[in-house]
Amino acid sequence: MKPSFHKALLIVLVLLSGTSLASGQKKKKAEVRSDRQFWLQQLDKMVKPVLYNLAKDSLRLAMPQVTSVHIDNKEHRIKVQYVEVLGRVLSGIAPWLQLEGGEPSEVALRKQYREWAIAGLKNSLDSTAKDFMNYDIGGQQLVDASYVALAFIRAPWLWENLGRKHQELMMKSIVTTRKFKPVFSNWLLFSAMNEAFLAKFGYTWDPMRVDYALQQMEQWYVGDGMYKDGSTYAFDYYNSYVIHPYLATIASIIGKKTKDYNSLFDKIRKRNERYAIIQERLINTDGTYPATGRSIVYRGAAFHHMADMAWRQVLPKQLSPEQVRCALTAVIRKTLESPGTYKNGWLTIGLYGAQPNLGDFYNNQGSPYICSNIFLPLGLPSSDPFWANPAAKWSAQKIWSGEDFPNDHSADLR
């Protein structure tokens, strides 16, 4: 073979290698872009009817007054659905609202949602507006106020751009819910979250409400990263809907105010990690998961905790960000692309489409919007490993495709 031929062959191989590398890089970028764009598309589809109408002072006119077929007090549940949907939507998209930069289309979308969020919050606090929201018409408002508080904690930008007048009105609205006695359950954390909000933004807060919630939750810890929700244990998703994300958030704020809970907060951190591992293993190869326990119509909020851990960049070492991204994407696809998920643009009561009998006695049109909390990782920039790393199988996919895989063991975290 002549030297000139060798040289030509080498050039061809180098060119092919470069083409392959470039093709691989493009594929990686497209993959990441498609995941993030899919999440943004789903966020926009879900949230737009709520915030667009609230910003236009027309939420009460546009939002259906749908309740569970098992409802206990239809009239009251409809009255509270507006604060409920506000808190549940904002708590989920808050990290994304807080983020800066990104693709021009995403920046433009975020700008629009920021405008709607601020205008909507102001309408909700304006006693002359059609969409004015009372926070003192029932105990459910304690729950709903805590999600509004959580949104501000996750997105200080919202608070900073609300303006002094509306900040005071918001603070007073949340303080109003102190009149309601929390149910002896995860509701203790709703009271504590409201106090954490006050502590974060420089208001007088009640240490006793926080202490009671923390001490009681410690009494309810049952092991292997999980807590009882009250006096008895239930195999449902309340450890993810509320308990772990709330404990982690409260710890992040109160830990800066006092060192009294340092050892407890260390336990909470380790339990957060253990429960995230369990959560990831619950997601099946196709994005389904066990449909057990009450509030199952909260859809992707069943993985609120794992999404929160990913956003806060504190996933345990056993879980790579990319495998969590892929697992959560599968859950989003399964729960939000199913037929009947929306009716006239609004979420239905169900898990896989409209399934009225899966509802509970307290569900109204605002309730299922807690599933927006699966979108928390959108608060990470596209350069973060969660988005930038190539797709990876999650545990169930590896195990059920026959791959060898590490076994799982409980952890003693008392």
Q: What are 337-365's pLDDT values in tens digits?
A: 989 999 999 999 999 999 999 999 999 99
**What pLDDT score does 13 carry?**
45
At 151, the pLDDT band (50, 70, 90 cuts) reads very high
Average pLDDT in the 237-248 region?
A: 98
Residue 79 DSSP SS3? helix
**What pLDDT score does 121 carry?**
98
- What are the residue boundaries of the structural domains of the chain, listed by start? 33-399
Residue 233 DSSP SS3? coil
227 vs 339, residue with greater confidence: 227
Question: What would the pLDDT profile of 273-291 be if each residue is shown by its tens digit?
Answer: 999 999 999 999 999 999 9
Question: What would the pLDDT profile of 64-76 be if each residue is shown by its tens digit?
Answer: 999 999 999 999 9
**What pLDDT score does 14 carry?**
43
Write the secondary structure of 352-371 as one string of H (helix), E (strand) and C (coil): CCCCHHHCCCCCECCHHHHH
- The radius of gyration of the chain's CA atoms, rounded to the nearest angstrom, is 23
Distance CA 77, CA 412 (A): 41
- Residue 22, classified by CB atoms within 10 Å of its CB into exposed (0-12), middle (13-18) or buried (19+), is exposed
At 7, the pLDDT band (50, 70, 90 cuts) reads low
Question: What would the pLDDT profile of 314-331 be if each residue is shown by its tens digit?
Answer: 999 999 999 999 999 999
- How many residues are there in the chain? 414
* Distance, C-alpha 187 to centroid of its chain: 18
pLDDT over 60 at 29, yes or no: no
33-399: CATH, from 1.10.3470, 1.25.40, 1.50.10, 2.50.20: 1.50.10
Distance CA 9, CA 14 (A): 9
At 190, the pLDDT band (50, 70, 90 cuts) reads very high
**Count of H helices and E strands in the chain?**
17, 4
